[in-house]
Structure 1
Amino acid sequence: MYINIGDRHKIILDKLKTKGFVTVLELSEEFKVSAVTIRKDLKHLEELNLLFRSHGKAVPTNPYTQEKTVTEKEKIHRSEKTGIASKASKLILPNDSIILASGTTITELAAQIPPIKGLTVLTASLNAALILSKLNDVEVIQIGGLIRKSSSSVIGPLGEKMLSEFTCSKLFLGVDGIDLDFGLTTTSSMEASINQIMIKSAQKIIILADSSKFGRKGFGRICGLEEVDQIITDSGIEDSYKKELIKLGIEVIVIDVD
């Protein structure tokens, strides 16, 4: 039976209230319309601030503008983060000087870095610093500043001034959102600010982001995609996004996740 647009939108919003999320595939099958039609429906409802789209589904609220604790973040996309971190760890070479930003993927990267002769790590992440401090061959420099409890990291002008005194070979940066037009974002404007200084202090910018981050926007803008050299993500990334990133000159490394 044909359901008009208005009724379709009402049913979608009712499902969001009762179930907490809806998927493009589920709605397409229920309404017997194409996935393209459903995506248009969801886009329209998002423009009215009635829902937020997130990689093949829609949720009532935007997960990237809400603060989550480290414990909560650690439970999300665990296998993807592990695979991404493993790939990133292989890019670190003897005598490298690197910056590790903050976030659960960055902490996972720290856990997977082996003893590398001559490696110097400058980090805003308290957890990453503690993990790497156990490696004899690695010199760890903890950035100072105000502690951001939700990410167990430091932010603020003290850390930014400290960062401006260094030049490093690579920056490994986790983000909350990647949008083709708006660029890289995070949930905190102060974290975005210190991330901007990290970018200025590094020769190569490497983004670690699972596929759920694409097409999303956080509160604080870090930079445009023209600043990025490499992105490591998982196989859930849409081909269209990958192609656009490659067009921008970004090397996209995709890891398979079981």
Structure 2
Amino acid sequence: MLESERHQLILTTLSEQDYTSVRALCEQVDASEATVRRDLTQLEREGKIKRKRGGAEISASERTKQLLQRRNGGFLLGLGRNIPEKRQLAKRAVEMCEDGESIIINGGSSTYMMGEFLKDRNLSILTNSYYLALDLIENSDNQITLPGGEVYRKQGVVLSPFENDTIPFYHASKMFMGTPGIGNCGVMESDPLLIRAEHKLRKQAEKLIVLADSSKLGKRSNFIFEPLENIDVLITDSRAKESDIKLFERSGIEVVLVDCNVPNQ
């Protein structure tokens, strides 16, 4: 077995349980203890695992990546960049929610990561993210509502062609969404079909909260979802340029910065 194949098999194995011993990994990859220990050293150096006495556990960001890789390769493409930053944005977004609150979560890689931090909460959640809904149904006691419609596998979202689905009957205090870019023109989106669905969701929420890591600031995409003045809160990371922060604050947006140097636990 090639080294790259062993590494992938080790990561897959670790993602399925909290801890795995070196002995068990040796059996799984059919390699010597010395070889597996070298593999673990390399994977730890890359930040993908954490060594523990007699074995190892996977890092939180790598666990999320492995989960999505198993579920949907296309959706993984959006997740593969800036995972630690996105995870911290998701954590901060969930901290803004109170138990018992009704919220809306739009599909996307950043918002999908909110699921990790929602598992011990008690909220009413409307989401068009098929993968987030599945994760929360399996692993939490939150009340989950999905709009009727067709599942678009590449984006991992449910889109409804009908005006009278469940969405108009749902009221939320907050809507959380990601974006391919946010700047002078506003919050961007890449697909007009997604924009139509997102506007339906936006009408049902009092506040719009955008999650965008610093690499998205100043970026443009094909379509404008909302102008800056319609955004209530932007959650981004501490690598954001001061000029970008001032631009958003001048538009009346509350900018929340998270520390992008926080290690994954």
- The TM-score with structure 2 as length reference comes to 0.67
Distance across 1 between alignment mates of 2:166 and 2:222? 25
Q: 1:188 aligns with which of 184, 187, 191?
A: 191
- Quick one: which of 111, 134, 153 aligns to 2:157? 153
Match of 1:91, as an amino acid? M
Q: How do 1:131-146 and structure 2 match up within 5 A?
A: 131-146=135-150
Cα 1:220–1:246 shift into 2, 3 Å: same
Alignment length (residue pairs): 189
SS at structure 2 position matched to 1:69: helix
Equivalent position SS for 2:260? coil
With over 3 angstroms needed to count, the CA separation of the structure-2 counterparts of 1:137 and 1:234, relative to structure 1, is: same
Which deviations, in whole Å up to 9, do the C-alpha atoms of 1:68-113 show, x marking residues without a partner? 9211112101011011011111111111001010111111012221
Match of 2:134 among 125, 130, 133: 130
Contact 1:231 1:251 in 2 (8 A): yes
The superposition leaves residues 189-233 of structure 1 with CA deviations (integer Å, 9 ceiling, x where unpaired) of 111111112111101111011111111122232111111110101
- Return the alpha-carbon distance in structure 2 between the equivalents of residues 198 and 136 of structure 1: 23
C-alpha distance in structure 2 between counterparts of 1:127 and 1:156, whole Å = 16
* Residues 98-130 of structure 1, C-alpha deviations (whole Å, 9 max, x = no match): 10101111110122213323x100000011101
Q: CA deviation at 1:157?
A: 2.5
Aligned partner of 1:254 among 254, 257, 260 = 257
Letter in 1 for 2:153: K
Sort the Cα spacing of 1:244 and 1:165 in 2 relative to 1 into closer, same or farther, 3 A: same
1:112 aligned partner: 117
Deviation at 1:136, TM superposition (A): 5.0
Check the 8 A contact 1:189/1:221 in 2, yes or no: no
Q: Give percent identity, aligned residues only.
A: 28
CA contact 1:156–1:190 (8 Å) conserved in 2 = no
1:165 to partner: Cα distance = 2.3
Other-structure match for 2:181: 177
Residue aligning to 1:42: none
Residue 107 of structure 2 corresponds to residue 102 of structure 1: yes
Tell me: CA distance 1:169–1:131, structure 2 relative to 1, closer, same or farther (3 Å). same
Answering whether residue 193 of structure 2 is matched by residue 224 of structure 1, we say no
Structure 2: state its 5+ residue gaps. 1-72
- CA contact under 8 A between 1:160 and 1:194: conserved in structure 2? no
Are 1:211 and 2:214 matched, yes or no? Answer: yes
Distance 1:165 1:177 in 2: 30
* C-alpha spacing 1:160/1:72, structure 2 compared with 1 (3 Å): farther
Which of 226, 236, 239 is the aligned partner of 1:236?
239
Alignment partner, residue 21 of structure 1 = none
**Contact 1:159–1:194 under 8 Å retained in 2:** no
TM-score (normalised: structure 1): 0.69
Q: Could you say what secondary structure the match of 1:207 adopts?
A: strand
Tell me the CA shift for residue 159 of structure 1.
7.1
One-letter identity of the residue aligned with 2:179: V
